[in-house]
Structure 1
């Protein structure tokens, strides 16, 4: 009985924390820190056009190759990101003059944990529009699979998760964008860690491998 109560408490606490990321300056602080990293990156690489990854903690924790398609890679992921936050980050890219050759968008799982201030579909449409506004190529990444159980997986709204994934795929079709489908990850062991959402080493190997292969096959 106590174990069940503890698990329930952890789930509620995790969901509450995610919600607070939307209602407090935490996400803004993470965006600002990312923008500072962007400016440092621009100072180091000059006029080199980068490949930029934007998204949540799945992106942030990924070990992408330092260069793809002969271009430097910049990881702009940050923990807790929801679609409206990624949209704001892309606006900041424009403000500081950061215009990547390729923008890879991987966001949505946090939007299935909490309800954002703005509907996901609205934010996502503007994300892909802004991502391509500087003339760069845009790749969109489907949602990665989540486990049947886990502290965070149990807090997922499964219907909203499926709807978000459909929105990503439909947006790719409607706008003729390159879709990177990571909905199935073939791994020798479990693709997720114990929370049921974040990726294990095997999960990351499959996830990043799929993404990098897709980009490498369609270099601009």
Structure 2
């Protein structure tokens, strides 16, 4: 009798284990974030090339390249009178996107200098400060492969109110780029510090309502930092 009871218990426990193994888990891990590749900006780059077909390219110009902070710099030509400029900023782009398209938005112009801004979108998407620095290194190497010794300036990643939580990473990324720039004949243009208030927080009056993009006052600070470098070329 005891042997029969024990055997019945073993059968019951085995059935429970089988049922548990076949029951799908309700706590599945979320899928990893999808990181869009650079090809998503093909339409923007094609539009630049179409404009090039209508307007003769200007060798010896200064190319401003990077994310939406460059694209939306509508006063660029007025801010640097007498300087031949080409704006090749495209919204939402990351550092590596400018590298991906460098042969189409930098090299064809044979510029006398490049002013670069990107990085905050990268950090917002989860890139580390070290990766941002390494991505910028790749950009420098790519454009200087076509034009050895090309003067390049990196505008520091700005402190945006809407992304204030990222400030520690912004500071680290800027510091890493600055250290690299010092040893590789790249200009580091510090707009980060002038855009902070006395408490070390982003100055909201320098931004439009989204707390991410600059208004005229914000671009005035950028102009004041970039102009001396351009004048010294």
The answer as to 2:186 corresponding to 1:162 is no
Where structure 1 has 5 or more consecutive residues not aligned to the other structure, the ranges are: 1-18
Other-structure match for 2:210 = 195
Q: Displacement, 1:175? A: 0.7
Q: Is the 8 A contact 1:51 1:68 kept in 2?
A: no
How has the CA–CA distance of structure 1 residues 102 and 165 changed in structure 2, closer, same or farther, with 3 Å as cutoff? same
Shift of 1:158: 3.5
Please point out which of 107, 111, 133 is paired with 1:121.
133
Give the 5 Å matches for 1:68-107.
71-93=83-105, 97-107=108-118
For residues 171 and 37 of structure 1, the distance between their equivalents in structure 2, rounded to whole angstroms, comes to 34
CA contact (8 A) 1:103 1:131 kept: no
TM-score normalised over the length of structure 2: 0.69
Gaps of 5+ in 2: 1-32, 198-202
Answer 1 or 2: higher relative contact order, Cα 8 Å, separation at least 6. Answer: 1
* Larger CA Rg, structure 1 vs 2: 2
- Cα separation, partners in 2 of 1:81 and 1:203, compared to 1, 3 Å: same
Q: Give 3-state SS (helix, strand or coil) of 2:188's partner.
A: strand
TM-score (ref. length: structure 1): 0.72
Q: Please state whether the residue corresponding to 1:91 is helix, strand or coil.
A: helix
Aligned residues: 191
